[in-house]
Homo-oligomer: A and B are copies of this chain.
Amino acid sequence: MSSRSMTGAECLARTLVAAGVRVCFANPGTSEMHFVAALDTVEGLRPVLCLFEGVATGMADGFARMSGVPAATLLHLGTGLANGLANLHNARRAASPLLNLVGEHARAHLNSSSPFIADIAGIARPLSDFVHTAESALTLAADGARAVAAARTPPGAIATLIVPADVAWGGAEGPAEPLEPSRSATVPQERLDEVARALESGRRSALLLRGAALCEPALTSAGRIAARVGARLLCETLTPRMQRGAGRVPIERIPYTAEEGRAFFTRIEQVVLVGAEPPAAAFAYPDKPSALLPPGSPVVYLAHPHEDAARALAALAELLRAPRAAAPRTALALPEAPRGALDALAIGRIVARHLPEGAILCDESATGSTATVSATASAAPHDYLGNTGGSLGMGLPLAGGAALGAPERKVVCVQADGAACYTPQALWTQARERLDVTTVIYANRSYAILKWERARLEPTAGPGSDALMSLVSPPLDWCRLAQGMGVEASRAHNAEELEAQFGDAMRRRGPRLIEALL
């Protein structure tokens, strides 16, 4: 037996590094102090301070989407975890691997009347795939190894490890060996044969892609298949990551609303799901459908989310003898510079004109999203990251995490003003870590998406509910808010100003915010 000269926390930190965890998005408190101290002595686990826990979980999501490996978060007690839940929901819907370390009181203290006690496991469960409360300093490292493996369960999962303070500070024997993460399952040959037959049936077909299927090399395989059998290639509105732009295989986006989605699918006779589930509307409305596919629509699964969609698409392309050069490619086509008043389309065009090759486009532009996505379709090749779970406040953190996950690439965050108000503290971490993120705030000074939703639901509402969707009084001044958190900021009143300011931001590095007045 060793001398137990390391704390449990230090053994845990070393285990995480060995298991491939490189970054820890932290908002620690008293019960996490021994893990914080371990961050000082353990090489390879970069701490990134966040002023709010929803920033930590959102950044971990962005980091995972770009790097493919889980980041850790370090959160304080049940309420710290609670503040992180909304972006955990988005991360979970993105299938991002993510490990939450949540400090708990020393176990003896849980019998006291301390007002800081809450049911952490109960708070964790609804949005975690794996929850474990560590029981001993001697087994904490092993718990960490298991938790990382749980997070890496294909396609990616939320693991929450609760660490009582006495477990963190207790003496332990050393780090644990990391577990070999499980790999995506292989799609069986019979399913490939079945899908090939379905695609050659002559039915008007579409492949709905998600996850790895929307990135190279899977995209090219999908393009070959589509060209070979005359199928359409689709993605959902809310998609975790997609590679697009010039030189990439073009993908159609399913309309957002139930009725438009349903109409869209009436022209399609069978849908092949590749890492996706049967598409559903975000919300239900009186007398409108929930499922976008008409009842009885033939649905064929090529790959479930936990299966290796890239390999399945490559094999299917070969099976169908799809020519290698057949995949369609988007031609670079930059829009003319718009003039005058700004709207989402004009912003999208300006973004498209200046977006550098290899940029990452984070989209929480809400009502602006359709126009922005459309305007950037033929821009330089880039990665698109979307809101996946509908919980607002994802954009600013996601962009920061993406910048850390892919540090050589420019990140552009197209961000609705109302949604930005949930996690504005992300700007501070962008400044502190000098992240290469340019944020464009769509300042329509309203919850425009709610006005739109209300119109669908309740056309007779009056002035009181109008006021509940207005952010005019007082107007939010995003330049001051960004500057107050150390981010350089400017305001664009029209297209000409945005063209100049955004172009300048693309030529330089570091955090920047432009408030685009709509």
Q: Which residues of the other chain, B, contact A77 by a CB distance below 8 angstroms?
A: 390-391
Q: Mark A216-241, 1 if CB is under 8 A from B, else 0.
A: 00000000000000000000001000
Q: Mark A166-204, 1 if CB is under 8 A from B, else 0.
A: 100100000000000000000000000000000000000
- Establish whether residues B474 and A282, one from each chain, have CB atoms under 8 Å apart when the complex forms: no
By beta carbon, the residue of chain B nearest A421 is B51
Cβ-defined partner of A291 (8 Å) among B112, B453, B476: B112
A214 to chain B, nearest CB (A): 16
Q: Which residues of the other chain, B, contact A2 by a CB distance below 8 angstroms?
A: none
Q: How far is the CA of A127 from the CA of B34 in the complex (A)?
A: 27
- Establish whether residues A37 and B460, one from each chain, have CB atoms under 8 Å apart when the complex forms: yes
Q: Which residues of the other chain, B, contact A6 by a CB distance below 8 angstroms?
A: none
- Establish whether residues A277 and B238, one from each chain, have CB atoms under 8 Å apart when the complex forms: no
Q: Which residues of the other chain, B, contact A3 by a CB distance below 8 angstroms?
A: none
Cβ-defined partner of A290 (8 Å) among B111, B118, B277: B111
- Establish whether residues B40 and A464, one from each chain, have CB atoms under 8 Å apart when the complex forms: yes
- Establish whether residues B78 and A112, one from each chain, have CB atoms under 8 Å apart when the complex forms: no
Q: Flag the segment in A308-316, A332-340, A423-431 that touches B.
A: A423-431
Q: Mark A284-322, 1 if CB is under 8 A from B, else 0.
A: 111000110000000000000000000000000000000
Interface positions, chain A 424-474, Cβ under 8 Å from B, are 424-425, 428, 431-432, 450, 453-454, 457-458, 460-465, 467-468, 471, 473-474
- Establish whether residues B39 and A282, one from each chain, have CB atoms under 8 Å apart when the complex forms: no
A52 at the interface (CB under 8 A from B): yes
A54 at the interface (CB under 8 A from B): yes
A28 at the interface (CB under 8 A from B): yes
- Establish whether residues B422 and A83, one from each chain, have CB atoms under 8 Å apart when the complex forms: yes
- Establish whether residues A468 and B86, one from each chain, have CB atoms under 8 Å apart when the complex forms: no
- Establish whether residues A290 and B126, one from each chain, have CB atoms under 8 Å apart when the complex forms: no
Q: Which residues of the other chain, B, contact A424 by a CB distance below 8 angstroms?
A: 424-425
Cβ-defined partner of A40 (8 Å) among B83, B116, B463, B473: B463
A477 at the interface (CB under 8 A from B): yes
Q: How far is the CA of A126 from the CA of B118 in the complex (A)?
A: 7
A306 to chain B, nearest CB (A): 16
- Establish whether residues B431 and A425, one from each chain, have CB atoms under 8 Å apart when the complex forms: no
A278 at the interface (CB under 8 A from B): yes
Most chain B beta-carbon neighbours within 10 Å: one of A33, A49, A115, A450: A115
Q: How far is the CA of A481 from the CA of B111 in the complex (A)?
A: 41
* A39-B465, A465-B40 known; A282 vs B114 contact (CB < 8 Å): yes
A106 at the interface (CB under 8 A from B): yes
Q: What copy number does this chain have within its complex?
A: 2
Q: Mark A76-114, 1 if CB is under 8 A from B, else 0.
A: 011110110110010001000000000001101101111
Q: For the complex, count residues of A whose C-beta is within 8 A of B.
A: 100
Cβ-defined partner of A480 (8 Å) among B112, B169, B484: B484
- Establish whether residues B389 and A461, one from each chain, have CB atoms under 8 Å apart when the complex forms: no
- Establish whether residues A476 and B485, one from each chain, have CB atoms under 8 Å apart when the complex forms: yes
- Establish whether residues B467 and A49, one from each chain, have CB atoms under 8 Å apart when the complex forms: yes
Q: How far is the CA of A169 from the CA of B458 in the complex (A)?
A: 9
Q: Which residues of the other chain, B, contact A422 by a CB distance below 8 angstroms?
A: 51-52, 83
Q: How far is the CA of A190 from the CA of B342 in the complex (A)?
A: 75
- Establish whether residues B283 and A31, one from each chain, have CB atoms under 8 Å apart when the complex forms: yes
Q: How far is the CA of A465 from the CA of B24 in the complex (A)?
A: 13
A324 at the interface (CB under 8 A from B): no
* A30-B453, A281-B114 known; A465 vs B389 contact (CB < 8 Å): no
- Establish whether residues A450 and B282, one from each chain, have CB atoms under 8 Å apart when the complex forms: no
* A283-B109, A474-B428, A474-B485 known; A79 vs B89 contact (CB < 8 Å): yes
Q: How far is the CA of A465 from the CA of B454 in the complex (A)?
A: 48
A123 to chain B, nearest CB (A): 5
Q: Mark A119-152, 1 if CB is under 8 A from B, else 0.
A: 1001101110000000000000000000000000
Q: Which residues of the other chain, B, contact A109 by a CB distance below 8 angstroms?
A: 280-281, 283-284, 290
Which 10 A-B pairs rank lowest in CB-CB distance, beginning with the nearest?
A474-B486, A480-B484, A109-B284, A82-B85, A112-B280, A122-B126, A481-B484, A79-B391, A106-B284, A51-B421
- Enumerate chain A interface residues (CB-CB to B < 8 A): 26, 28-31, 33-34, 36-37, 39-41, 47, 49, 51-52, 54, 77-80, 82-83, 85-86, 89, 93, 105-106, 108-109, 111-116, 118-119, 122-123, 125-127, 165-166, 169, 238, 277-286, 290-291, 388-391, 393, 418, 421-422, 424-425, 428, 431-432, 450, 453-454, 457-458, 460-465, 467-468, 471, 473-481, 483-486
Listed by A's residue number, 11 A-B pairs whose Cβ atoms lie within 8 Å are A28-B450, A39-B465, A47-B468, A51-B422, A106-B283, A114-B290, A116-B283, A123-B123, A165-B284, A432-B473, A474-B486
